[in-house]
Structure 1
């Protein structure tokens, strides 16, 4: 085999429609930056010619996915039994490539998600390589063995013979390997491919460009980059970032443009580039108009001791007899030195000695050093500065990375698609790192004062309107289910990392299969599905408080309740999910956990614990809650999350009113899952495969719950509500059980009804009766009217005593 690997082999692949790319010599890494673009397109003729001349000796690779129509199963184990088990499951491939160990097999790409299978010890067994991956092709030299990769045939010769794997290949492999007795690691499956909103990607790119400019300028000393290294770093960063998303690829040129913009801005305010900033800068970049402008501005500024001496003498000679002019020259040279990042402290000490020796004005070295350090840190000491002006400068600096607001007791910054919470410590540290050197910001108290001013300057509600909706990666979806561009005015605090596609609403087959396994045998199955769809919809849209109900998945263990909660949890990003039990809702600081959340997944209800009725109703209704973060001022906010419970027990409260009971929507789970039917990590598998479809299905229930002004109530809900009334209102249980009273027209003496109730509780219900006053209240909670008759006795209107039956009950 010739050492002109890429030059010899690439034309064969291109002629077959395979977008082969150059790799670095004797390496697996692409030699080009934007290689992933060729997963969906062929390189142009001009690009091919450039590659053939520039990378003739390199290895050769193939971007997998739509353009090639090829996917690879890479078996990466030396265990012969496992290899045999995998080959027994997989269709026979006409193409097999061998490198150091294992083998790579080619199949037809059908849009499958990439995944990995690992053993319980973490050892890699095999990997599915598809869109976003590339495979090293035969003829290339393995970096470890120094020998060529080999295959049984040329890939371009067997393209039309590649078999299908099916889109469910991962599940089938896992199930079959399990049947064969092989244990796989629970975390071995790949996470779903996240889609990052275009606006958020742009903000991230801007932030990264700012970081690179600070490194090139020498401000950030954590790394050391020349401009060309920073440009290459931007390209690599975009490539790595794009590999984690689907949809339109990012344009690295936008990031480079921002990098150059930041450098030019720093030069405009007097900073200087360090020596070597333009080392090895190719001619094509030197010809870039912005870089030419940077070179022109940067060239005359760079200082050394001789240049500083020459400039200082020249400056003083303009008016040699003026002490004021001399002082001005001293201050100007100090400023120039501070702005020049290659001037070290030792170099400036030498400059101060030079100035002291060459002028008759007394040079105060401590004062000049303080001035030098202040300017170098970006802050010229100025007695006219105030905390307000300092905060304004900090705000301007921070908002280059996104608009800043303060609402619900904390800072928020626009990320390009939503607002993200900023910890006060982050803002404090930004202030501390930005304003050193000013006499009004030297200590902890000064920094805290600036942060306080920032709070007032940024005070603005996140949601400037009254628009309900949810952020997907491809836009903000309002109640009309139309996708609109992300905008700060919506006040969104999270973005779902996938696109909204209404056409997928009927497609979550595995999710439907799971629900059918739980409820398919129930007569109210259809109504349960409708109710669940509505519950998901109001949760995602954060409008559950409008309908004033918490959600309870009720039933014994092992019936699928937890799987449903885990599906909901996995649909949402972590900052959109709270886990605050109702027993904590009245605590001083706890409600802050609900800020920005769409779902509060509370888990189990306590068997004997009670829920405070007043606080529960306020939180579920979304009434204003007074709370505070520790060490900060209190504030009021309205929780907008839906509250989800899964329990073996019905809710208990001292509040016996229907106000508590009617704030629940209950779905039964009655069918235990057999051990042999259980699937480990079922929720994660379902969401990984179908999260876009589940979300689209859920949103289809939105208009129904809005039109009904409430939820669909299946028969299981009505049954459990009756049980809740009995548990929480012993008078209701008494009236249901006794045959001595019938609701309707008429009235009954309240004291006699109470006596019969007390007898029933002690001798039949085996419980303690409530007091007479509480008994009257509980009757009124059941919509009976209790009042005094003309002779002053309490009577119950709407309840009639059935003669003889009450006494018969006593005697029994």
Structure 2
């Protein structure tokens, strides 16, 4: 990669701009050699000859604003100094700081009557959650890797789109990526040297996320990107990632690898006062960028003083409960266990195929993603009380002359109730579906009625 000093930070010079610079040089100094091929080769050659970019000392937090470098010390104090090439910063924020050089800067509180202040009060009335979102936004100004992803959930008109537009407006270079494509080298090309990664929506369901690639993108792993008509390059993503979605994350990973990276915030305020202001994000960026910058710097100061982002144990209670509810919803094996009532039983051998088929039938009927057999058994053996057999074949039993792999567990018989009328109700997992009535039986014969296992009541029936 090539960089050019722009007066504030080292800006990336891409292939097109680099070739244009080389073309201009050739026309001025070697007009007889000025061709597209020569310009392309000149830029490639120059890139190989450039000095390495200076590196910022680990532990230092410096943010490049338009009119100075904001240095945040370990005690949280903030000082403004002139821009410095030697620090090697590769991005800046699109705002000016209100303090002159060599002076301490004290972030001012957001005026309650400002556009940004009214927006915060309307979209994030809970002060604890507002502080959490403040630190989420502030961390986007500090290069990582942080091994954290902000997942903002909510339907339209709740403010998450306005906030994401404001934060994106502060960054010089942002990347947009879809979570089902985040392992694609061509899709990752936009993330190289981006200071913020943004996902505007996620396809509902487990297939909407490439979970292994998602972990690698935020975890400081070495990634491979492919620019069009160029060789592969390797890079480590150091930017924060914001996911803005109408849907909660659906995670099938049995480990804690994805969950420990997620900080999920539910935006549940609908049609606040900010909705009445057209182009609110653009107006805030144009008229009140200095107010937002101080709000962000206040969050940066807390992060640096603490030594990192607010730990999960100190998150607002509503946020912790919401994340746990997401984990519970995504635990399809646990939901199946609770539904069918399977229990460990050393004296009972149940075929593994019967157990998996029971799980698959439940998940399909409940509208859940069906895990593959290897994924299912990984989660199954992790449940309390179920011990994985020591041998590879496990426990076996001869059934109809065939040795069948079994599990020492028991599934109770299907739960059903016979009504006084002779009708039979069977509990089955049917999600958001109306009662299904079988074709009418002959007179004086029982009729089978299948109903969902929830929201069933009738004052005239008892059982």
Q: Does 1:418 align with 2:37?
A: no
> What SS class does the counterpart of residue 241 from structure 2 fall into?
strand
Q: What's the offset of the Cα at 1:645?
A: 1.9
Q: Does 1:640 align with 2:238?
A: yes
* Match 2:46 to one of 451, 454, 465: 454
Q: What residue in structure 2 maps to residue 526 of structure 1?
A: 127
Evaluate the alpha carbon distance shift between residue 675 and residue 506 of structure 1 in structure 2; reply closer, same or farther with a 3 A threshold: closer
8 Å CA contact 1:665–1:713 kept in 2: the answer is: no
- Structure possessing the higher relative contact order (Cα contacts under 8 Å, 6 or more residues apart): 2
Give a deviation string over 1:379-432, Cα, whole Å, max 9, x none.
Answer: xxxxxxxxxxxxxxxxxxxxxxxxxxxx3xxx2211221112332222321332
Q: What residue in structure 1 maps to residue 211 of structure 2?
A: 613
Q: Does 1:718 align with 2:320?
A: yes
Evaluate the alpha carbon distance shift between residue 479 and residue 725 of structure 1 in structure 2; reply closer, same or farther with a 3 A threshold: same
8 Å CA contact 1:508–1:694 kept in 2: the answer is: no
Q: What residue in structure 2 maps to residue 681 of structure 1?
A: 279
Partner Cα separation in structure 2 for residue 630 and residue 737 of structure 1: 51
RMSD, aligned CA = 3.7
Q: What's the offset of the Cα at 1:603?
A: 0.8
Partner Cα separation in structure 1 for residue 98 and residue 383 of structure 2: 45
Q: Does 1:590 align with 2:187?
A: yes
Partner Cα separation in structure 2 for residue 674 and residue 446 of structure 1: 58
Give a deviation string over 1:50-92, Cα, whole Å, max 9, x none.
Answer: xxxxxxxxxxxxxxxxxxxxxxxxxxxxxxxxxxxxxxxxxxx
Structure 1: gaps (5+ residues): 1-406, 795-800
Evaluate the alpha carbon distance shift between residue 580 and residue 649 of structure 1 in structure 2; reply closer, same or farther with a 3 A threshold: same
> What SS class does the counterpart of residue 562 from structure 1 fall into?
helix
Q: What residue in structure 2 maps to residue 554 of structure 1?
A: 153
Partner Cα separation in structure 1 for residue 385 and residue 89 of structure 2: 45
Partner Cα separation in structure 2 for residue 624 and residue 492 of structure 1: 21
8 Å CA contact 1:476–1:483 kept in 2: the answer is: yes
Q: What's the offset of the Cα at 1:754?
A: 8.2
Q: What's the offset of the Cα at 1:457?
A: 1.5
8 Å CA contact 1:470–1:476 kept in 2: the answer is: yes
Counterparts of 1:85-96 in structure 2, within 5 Å, are: none
Q: Of Structure 1 and Structure 2, which has the larger fraction of its residues in strand? A: 2
Evaluate the alpha carbon distance shift between residue 703 and residue 635 of structure 1 in structure 2; reply closer, same or farther with a 3 A threshold: same
8 Å CA contact 2:23–2:36 kept in 1: the answer is: no
Partner Cα separation in structure 1 for residue 302 and residue 374 of structure 2: 43
Q: Does 1:627 align with 2:208?
A: no
Structure 2: gaps (5+ residues): 100-104, 396-407, 417-426, 428-463
Q: What residue in structure 2 maps to residue 431 of structure 1?
A: 25
Q: What's the offset of the Cα at 1:619?
A: 0.7
Q: What residue in structure 2 maps to residue 774 of structure 1?
A: 375
Partner Cα separation in structure 1 for residue 143 and residue 391 of structure 2: 52
Give a deviation string over 1:353-386, Cα, whole Å, max 9, x none.
Answer: xxxxxxxxxxxxxxxxxxxxxxxxxxxxxxxxxx
> What SS class does the counterpart of residue 527 from structure 1 fall into?
helix
Give a deviation string over 1:592-650, Cα, whole Å, max 9, x none.
Answer: 21233222222111224521111111111232211232233322111222111221112
Q: What residue in structure 1 maps to residue 456 of structure 2?
A: none
Q: What residue in structure 2 maps to residue 515 of structure 1?
A: 120
Partner Cα separation in structure 2 for residue 802 and residue 696 of structure 1: 60
8 Å CA contact 1:658–1:782 kept in 2: the answer is: no
* Match 1:478 to one of 46, 68, 71: 71
Q: What residue in structure 2 maps to residue 762 of structure 1?
A: 361
Give a deviation string over 1:533-567, Cα, whole Å, max 9, x none.
Answer: 21111101233x32x12112111111222111122
Partner Cα separation in structure 2 for residue 748 and residue 491 of structure 1: 68
TM-score if structure 2 supplies the norm length?
0.70
Partner Cα separation in structure 1 for residue 234 and residue 349 of structure 2: 44
Partner Cα separation in structure 2 for residue 616 and residue 599 of structure 1: 15
Evaluate the alpha carbon distance shift between residue 634 and residue 683 of structure 1 in structure 2; reply closer, same or farther with a 3 A threshold: same
Q: What residue in structure 1 maps to residue 109 of structure 2?
A: 506
8 Å CA contact 2:122–2:274 kept in 1: the answer is: no
Q: What's the offset of the Cα at 1:668?
A: 0.9
8 Å CA contact 2:138–2:296 kept in 1: the answer is: yes
* Match 1:731 to one of 319, 333, 356: 333
Give a deviation string over 1:333-355, Cα, whole Å, max 9, x none.
Answer: xxxxxxxxxxxxxxxxxxxxxxx
Q: What residue in structure 1 maps to residue 412 of structure 2?
A: 807
Partner Cα separation in structure 2 for residue 567 and residue 735 of structure 1: 45
TM-score if structure 1 supplies the norm length?
0.42
8 Å CA contact 2:157–2:275 kept in 1: the answer is: no
8 Å CA contact 1:578–1:601 kept in 2: the answer is: yes
Give a deviation string over 1:689-708, Cα, whole Å, max 9, x none.
Answer: 43223222222233544537
* Match 2:293 to one of 695, 718, 723: 695
